[in-house]
Structure 1
Amino acid sequence: MQRNSKTRRGVLTVAGGALAALAGCSNSDGQSGTPTETGTASDGMEPMTETAEPTESGTEQGTESEGTEEGMPPEGDAMLRVAHLAPDAPNVDVAVDGTTVLTDVPFETVSDYLALTTGEHQVTVTPTGGSEAVFDEAVTLDAGRQTAAAIGEVSGENQPFTVTLLTDDATAAEAGSTRVRAVHTIPDAPAVDVTSGETVIADGLEFGEAGDYVTVPSDVTAVELRPDNLNNDAEPVATFSVDLTEMAAQTVFAAGYLEPSGDQPGARLVVATDAEPSEMGGGTETGTGMGTGTPSGTEMGTPTGTSTGGM
């Protein structure tokens, strides 16, 4: 089995005082705030298929850029999307440079890309209905696509709540294949290998790390999480069915809890599309506003057989 190297990303850590504000907006059972139509079903395992109505302060989704609205961040060559992957956090609102671009975003949502100028932007994350930000930091964006992923836990029981900036690849794949990257966001799981049969998608990923993009056949139907070992052949602790997009570049976020307690969401894959087939060699997509909180990849890996032991 060919081993795939992993890439460690810089992590922006939320201050402890901000965590208290986030915790105060959670329900007493540790679940996130009341889901909107974009949320998941009560069992936490169904993909999101509905779209929330955009707020007046958000940007409208579309296929063409309409230019910069009054008060909105200036558009440019940097593309930013936001992923809510903190399994015990409530729904959140996201603002860029003081303007709200996403509202009431539930766990396992990955937004569309927002076109911004390169350089520094103030990104603020606030619990929906709250007033105190849990993340309010200047983020420096390069040209191209990036994902700001909220990971970890409000409780901090296994991992602290953080926001990590990932560099996405807009290069699409060739016919018959898909370029796939794995990101480890399961707070109660140790380092994992991510495989599909004999193909190693990611090797020894620690929490918060992203693997390199690898090319796999588009007809891949299952992805396994395995405890990290030298040969990437440990018994899987979770296996998920997936439906990949031919010629696309996609990220699979391993999310939820490996050993959920009570109503905590179980382990799942959240699949997001980084580049569509039509964007071969692209990276300058326009008009993909973040105003509605619509997931950019509504496909979600379905567990086909999960074992909670052995890790």
Structure 2
Amino acid sequence: MPRHRRPAARAAAVLGAAAAAVAAALLVPGAAAAAPAASYLRLAHLSPDTPTVDVYVTSVSDPAASFTVPGVGYGAVSPYRSVEAGTYTVSMRPAGAPASSPPVISTTVQATAGTAHTVAGVGMSSTLGLAVLDDSLTVPPAGNASVRVINASVAVPQVDVGPPGGPAWASAVKFGTTTGYRDVPLGATTLQVGAAGQAPVSLPVSLDASSVYSVILVDKAGTLDTQVHRDSTGATVVPVGGVETGFGGAAGPSAGFAAGIAAAVAALVLASGTFLLRRSGSRTR
């Protein structure tokens, strides 16, 4: 190759190497700084006669990580929020009350990495308590979902829950209590909720594979209603309503964004190399 073409060739090679490095940094998983291991918190108001509250979650070690969920009424269950591992105080105040006012009730949660918790106001207002529930992130066996029952209904202070004609998912579940998780078959089904001396109430339920659920019984307009909340799903053991849905947390560049940047860099290199080679070729004529 003539000597006057070597600078252009060297420049094109340098640009190509730079493009490859940029593309690798953008496209290779783990190139971005790893986020600290997270825990997940979810809030619930399950006290039928307690008015709407503002819920304060305060980090003991980092006040900047604290947050407030205003206007939480009976039957409300928040999405999960990703939080750093540590100790948190969860407090309830009447909706609109100053943050400096004494809380109606409070409790402490120890959030450890890789765990999820639901902090729920339970019972009647005269005996209101905050229950810290350990939410399951364990994938159920193939062909099953995993379900627990939370009874927040005073209409049925003690109930049996299960499909018609099948084994009960939970028996004698008292108001204000939560059962353990149980593996159950998949698919849409009718859930029967029955109490002693009362005709059972039929409620629709649909369950997906590899998913964990909380079935919450609540009072709605004087009748029994059921809420089905997905606690976790799949082998990634990331609760639904966590970082992916935008309720807290931060993410690195998306795959599409990174691919677009890499393509733009490659196009720039190609154009620059073509220009240099043409310029070099024109000097030989």
TM-score where L is the length of structure 2: 0.61
Question: How big is the shift at 1:169?
Answer: 0.5
The 10-residue stretch of structure 1 (168-177 or 141-150) with the greater mean CA deviation from structure 2? 168-177
CA contact (8 A) 1:85 1:149 kept: yes
Partners of 1:235 and 1:178 lie apart in 2 by 28
Question: How big is the shift at 1:174?
Answer: 4.7
In structure 1, give the amino acid aligned to 2:205: V
Give the fraction of aligned pairs with identical amino acids, expressed as a percent.
26
Q: 1:95 to 1:290 in 2, by over 3 A?
A: farther
Question: How big is the shift at 1:87?
Answer: 2.1
Matched, 1:172 2:133: no
Select the structure of larger CA radius of gyration: 2
Cα deviation code 1:61-95 (max 9, x no counterpart): xxxxxx9xxxxxx9753211011222233332222
Partners of 1:115 and 1:244 lie apart in 2 by 25
Aligned counterparts, 1:216-255, within 5 A: 216-227=184-195, 236-255=199-218
Partners of 1:195 and 1:162 lie apart in 2 by 27
In structure 1, give the amino acid aligned to 2:208: T
Query: In the alignment, which residue of structure 2 is the partner of 1:215?
Result: 183
Q: 1:190 to 1:106 in 2, by over 3 A?
A: closer
Aligned counterpart for 1:269 among listed residues 226, 229, 232? 226
CA contact (8 A) 2:152 2:218 kept: yes
Matched, 1:112 2:79: yes
CA contact (8 A) 1:183 1:251 kept: yes
Aligned counterparts, 1:8-27, within 5 A: none
Question: How big is the shift at 1:200?
Answer: 1.5
- Dislocated runs of 4+, deviation >4 Å: 287-291
Query: In the alignment, which residue of structure 1 is the partner of 2:276?
Result: none
TM-score where L is the length of structure 1: 0.56
Q: 1:212 to 1:243 in 2, by over 3 A?
A: same
Query: In the alignment, which residue of structure 1 is the partner of 2:53?
Result: 92
Question: How big is the shift at 1:280?
Answer: 1.9
Stretches of structure 1 lacking an aligned partner (at least 5 in a row) = 1-66, 68-73, 229-233, 258-263, 292-311
CA contact (8 A) 2:46 2:75 kept: yes
Query: In the alignment, which residue of structure 2 is the partner of 1:45?
Result: none
In structure 2, give the amino acid aligned to 1:91: T
RMSD (Å) for aligned C-alpha atoms? 3.0
Cα deviation code 1:85-141 (max 9, x no counterpart): 222333322221163332222322211112223342111222222234222332333
Question: How big is the shift at 1:237?
Answer: 3.3
In structure 2, give the amino acid aligned to 1:282: V
Partners of 2:153 and 2:41 lie apart in 1 by 23
Tell me the matched-pair count.
Answer: 203
Partners of 1:265 and 1:86 lie apart in 2 by 15
Query: In the alignment, which residue of structure 2 is the partner of 1:80?
Result: 41
Partners of 1:137 and 1:124 lie apart in 2 by 7
Q: 1:138 to 1:289 in 2, by over 3 A?
A: farther
Q: 1:136 to 1:211 in 2, by over 3 A?
A: closer
Q: Flag the structure with more relative contact order, 1 or 2, with Cα contacts below 8 A and sequence separation at least 6.
A: 1
Query: In the alignment, which residue of structure 1 is the partner of 2:237?
Result: 282
CA contact (8 A) 1:114 1:288 kept: no
Query: In the alignment, which residue of structure 2 is the partner of 1:127?
Result: 94
CA contact (8 A) 1:112 1:289 kept: no
Query: In the alignment, which residue of structure 1 is the partner of 2:106?
Result: 136
Query: In the alignment, which residue of structure 2 is the partner of 1:41?
Result: none
